[in-house]
Structure 1
Amino acid sequence: MPSLVPPVLPGGALSGREQPTLYADGALTLRPFRPADAPAVALAFTDPAIQRWHTHAMASADEAVAWINQWRVHWAAERAASWAVTDADDALVGRVGLREINLFDGVAEVAYWVLPEARGRGVVVRATEALARWSFEELGLHRLTLRHSTLNQPSCRAAEKAGFALEGVERSALLHTDGWHDMHLHARLTDLA
């Protein structure tokens, strides 16, 4: 059945290009993950806060390498994209990415985490703003969403500081290790970029 509206972005909008390196205020770089990042990624997933809010653990650097390699597959399949957030010394301080990319509708969901030693320095806000700029201005998405547990107040503050307006609560929307969580739904539109 033919669509009455054209796609916001054609197929190939991601897979037809190399994943770019992005720059954020404050000497942060968002670059594709490398296998050499595996020890830092594995260590990140031993952090109780990352495990709590992202509901994953990682057993080894080998498992982290497999995870990193999967991001290349996701980029090529135009399903998701993930960037290592690094400081001025190219040390990993976090991750920011797009999940649930839908090129036809021009939407994606933002996800992130930050290592404990980098928290409280605006890393999430600056990295998310850089990703949003690229998503709207370079890629051409129309809407970005961001979801987090209503219990995760630091994530809520970061989302709002990055320009993602709170739109509502999704009740009992995601299963965490301690049970079902209500989730805040935030969004940012290209017009507000």
Structure 2
Amino acid sequence: MTRALSTPPVIAPGSLGGSPQPVLPVAGGLLLRPWEEADAPAFLSAYQDDEIRRWHTRRPSTEGQVREWFEAYRQDWQQEKGGHWAITRGGAEVLGRIALRGLDFDDGTAGVAYWVLPAARGAGVATRGLKALTAWAVAEIGFHRLELDHSTRNHASCRVATNSGYLLEGTKRSAAVHDDGRHDMHLHACIRGH
């Protein structure tokens, strides 16, 4: 059933899914590109890292499961539900992950998530990736608001958000379950023109 809107959608349906998922240039010779089958070992190894495990409770356990996730990522793009990219050095070496999730074309909103492999931390990889994804999503696609949340205990993610222009809007109390129990979550957002 199609619901009638009193206002037109901020982003026209078909704006993403009708085209291939783009490769996006990032400052410093990095590229955001769709995940490839050959990335499965690097993706799986990320979830063996204690810091990534600490903040991400949904984790693949085999390369086969990773490939299922990659297929779900491709379907997300085609169905305009999300976009998932590998953060890479020159399109080859995987340094991290970044995603747009929960796309709402009616309101022009989406959520952002990311992680970076241990060897790439401290070099601004997540910040540069987030800035590039944000610029594309806002300027080229037309999203009005992008938001992200992270545990209030995840100080590195908070720095990435603020250094990328995502203002801290508040704290969502007891909003997410992690391995060590419930965490309060910071909510950050980037709004077009602000």
Q: Which of the residues 38, 41, 46 maps onto 1:39? A: 41
Which residue pairs with 1:76 in the alignment? 78
| 8 Å Cα contact 2:167-2:189 kept in structure 1 | yes
Residues 174/22 of structure 1: CA separation in 2 closer, same or farther (3 Å cut): same
- 2:149 maps to a residue whose letter is R
| 8 Å Cα contact 1:149-1:181 kept in structure 2 | yes
Distance in 2, matches of 1:102 and 1:89, equals 29
Residues 106/130 of structure 1: CA separation in 2 closer, same or farther (3 Å cut): same
User: For the aligned residues, what is the CA RMSD?
Assistant: 1.1
- What TM-score, normalized by structure 2, do the two folds share? 0.96
Which residue pairs with 1:113 in the alignment? 115
Distance in 1, matches of 2:69 and 2:183, equals 25
Which residue pairs with 1:85 in the alignment? 87
- What TM-score, normalized by structure 1, do the two folds share? 0.96
User: Runs of 4+ in structure 1 displaced over 4 angstroms?
Assistant: none
Alignment of 1:150-161 (within 5 A): 150-161=152-163
Which stretch of structure 1 is more off in the superposition, 33-42 or 48-57?
48-57
State the 1:88 CA deviation: 3.0
State the 1:3 CA deviation: 2.3
Distance in 2, matches of 1:89 and 1:145, equals 26
1:38-80 Cα deviation digits (max 9, x unpaired): 0100111111111111112322211111111110011111111
Which stretch of structure 1 is more off in the superposition, 51-60 or 101-110?
51-60
Which residue pairs with 2:142 in the alignment? 140
| 8 Å Cα contact 1:46-1:58 kept in structure 2 | no
Q: Are residues 1:167 and 2:185 paired?
A: no
Give the secondary-structure state (helix, strand or coil) at the position aligned to 2:11. coil
Distance in 1, matches of 2:142 and 2:134, equals 10
Give the secondary-structure state (helix, strand or coil) at the position aligned to 1:137. helix
Gaps of 5+ in 1: none
State the 1:89 CA deviation: 6.5
Task: State percent identity of aligned pairs.
Answer: 45
Which residue pairs with 2:179 in the alignment? 177
Gaps of 5+ in 2: none
- 2:83 maps to a residue whose letter is A
